[in-house]
Amino acid sequence: MTARFAAAAALLAAASLLACAGQAKAAPVDFGAEAARRAAVQPQVATRAEGKPRSSRAVDVRHDARGIPSRVTVEIGPANGAPFYAEVDLVRESPDDELPSIYELACTTSLAPRARKGARDVCQADPAAVVAAADDRVMFVDEAPPKPVCAKPALPADFLVMAAGEYNGREAGFQIDGSGHEATLMDIEVNITDKPVVLMLGAYEPTIWTVSWTPGTRIVAVLSGGYHRQRVTGLEPSVPVLGSSYEDRSPCPSFYITQSDMKQLNPIARDLLGRPVDKLYFAKQGRARVGEPIAPGTKLVSVSAQPPEAFRLPGSPRAGRAGLEDALRAGVLRRATPADAQAWVDEVKKRRPRADVPPIAGEGEREPRRPHIEHAYVVLGPFTYPSGLYREIAAFFIPKGVPKPKGNPGHSNVYDFEALTSRF
């Protein structure tokens, strides 16, 4: 046993025993919550979740013959895709211990507790379960690293702060992050020649900003903000860009620009730049002209601007209906039929117990909700939901044995035959 392992175990054992015996005023240990907290930062779990999980919660706690907690099932909400489960063993350092003091990861599995049969250990019963390596079982929670600091840009003594943006720009037809939202495009043209300029560019949706300017305009820094990922291109390499999207958890304060909410702009500008915004320009159809009108025929400057496709999330499908049509042609999807909707109803009736309620006079047994099959698809193989499904309302049937789709289904209805779950 390493010194780190022994120290952690001893501290946990002492805390648990004191709480149990009433020798301290600390609240009893919530083993489920503690297991969920540790599972969220365990390396195997983080790898499967493709980063820090967006959620982790205990959904089942089992006890041994003495009534001592022995295993916790933790539901993990990954950054993208369907939830999975971390099985966490609670171990007593010696048989005489009153409570467990060590948390160990047994395995991760896609099998929801309600879909498991019998009392067998799911780590052994599920062939697809990923068993934790011996050296990676014990789940420590190290001290949090220092919080990153937003680095303020070096600026000249006198400059202007110009803000521009909108909720979204023009549709790009692809995605640049894992949010499931289609990227949008913004073109920003700047014509201010009397003072250096700092730009604040903000949009809610994931956005690619292409910046250009007139000869004589000097852009000295850019703050890009949004709820989803933002990317800026076209600037001189020496111009600092501070990104501050909420989903990227960047250290700089996040903001975005809409006509209904502008109160956050001046406080952020004062904090990072030392002065408020001088003027705000709302984009129209993905374009904003900042400063004075640009004379016809003026050639704008843009340095090594990358095409929007350069920011496309690798391997991501085309957005919305186009992505679904691509999957149909590839044989990954097929259109759903009334038989698929009936199969869902039959499966629900077979596997869910009847409600213990009296029959209603004049009515037969109530049928489970029948899925609509307009814009509905059956998943046939490995599939990633395309972006844009927040506008393209669809439905997906996932048969038994078919891998759970990756990505974000947006507002789509999903019928999972394996776990017998549906989301609307």
Q: How confident is the model at residue 25 (pLDDT cuts 50, 70, 90)?
A: very low
Rounded average pLDDT over 141-154: 73
* pLDDT tens per residue, range 186-209: 999 999 999 999 999 999 999 999
In contact, 58 and 76? CB cutoff 8 Å: no
Tokens (6 digits) for 190: 């700047």
Is residue 149 included in any domain, yes or no? no
- Rounded to the nearest 5°, which phi and psi values hold at 88? -115, 120
Summarize pLDDT for 104-146 with one digit per residue, the tens. 999 999 998 888 877 679 998 888 999 998 888 888 765 555 6
Shared domain for 332 and 267, answered yes or no, is no
Strands 197-203 and 160-165: parallel
pLDDT band with cut points at 50, 70 and 90 for residue 57 = very high
- Residue 22 is predicted with a pLDDT of 39
Please check whether residues 117 and 174 belong to one and the same domain.
Answer: no
Q: Residues 372-387: what's their mean pLDDT? A: 93
pLDDT score recorded for residue 333: 96
Question: What would the mean pLDDT of 171-186 be, rounded to a whole number?
Answer: 89
pTM: 0.59
Q: What mean pLDDT comes out for the span 39-64? A: 90
How much is the pLDDT for 227? 92
If one compares 301 and 81, the residue with the highest pLDDT of the two is: 301
Judgement on whether residues 96 and 167 belong to the same structural domain of the protein:
no
Q: Which long-range contacts (CB under 8 A, 24 or more apart) does 405-412 make?
A: 405/81, 405/82, 405/379, 406/80, 406/81, 407/80, 407/81, 407/178, 407/180, 407/316, 408/80, 408/81, 408/178, 408/179, 408/180, 409/180, 409/385, 410/180, 410/385, 412/385
Q: 7 vs 309, which has greater pLDDT?
A: 309
Q: Is residue 153 part of a domain?
A: no
Please indicate whether residue 27 or residue 147 has the higher confidence score (pLDDT): 147
pLDDT of residue 326: 93
What's residue 373's pLDDT?
92
Which pLDDT score is estimated for 350? Answer: 87
Residue 389 in domain:
yes
In a domain, 261, yes or no: yes
Same domain, 111 and 215: no
Domain-embedded: residue 390: yes
Residue 131 lies in a domain: yes
Residue 51 and residue 173 share a domain: no
Host domain of residue 240: 160-311
**162 against 152, higher pLDDT:** 162
250 inside domain: yes
Residues 105 and 227 in one domain: no
- Report how many domains make up the chain: 3
Domain contains 146: no
Strand partners, 199: 162, 222
**What pLDDT does 81 receive?**
82
Same domain, 271 and 377: no
Residue of 373, 382, 371, 377 lying closest to 333 (CA atoms): 377
Which of these, 90, 67, 174, 181, lies nearest to 139 by C-alpha position? Answer: 90
The number of beta carbons lying within 10 Å of the beta carbon of residue 289 is 16
- In Å, the largest CA–CA distance within the chain is 86
- Specify whether 296 is located in the same domain as 273: yes
Averaged pLDDT score across all residues of the chain: 87
Percentage of the chain beyond pLDDT 70 is 91
Per residue in 1-24, pLDDT tens? 444 444 344 434 444 433 333 333
Say what the pLDDT of residue 119 is.
Answer: 65
pLDDT score of 146: 65
Q: What is the pLDDT of residue 15?
A: 41
Strands 241-243 vs 160-165: parallel, antiparallel or unpaired: unpaired
Q: Do 173 and 127 lie in a common domain?
A: no
Q: What value does the CA radius of gyration of the chain take, rounded to a whole number of Å?
A: 27
Give the closest residue to 247 by CA, choosing from 222, 230, 271, 265. Answer: 230
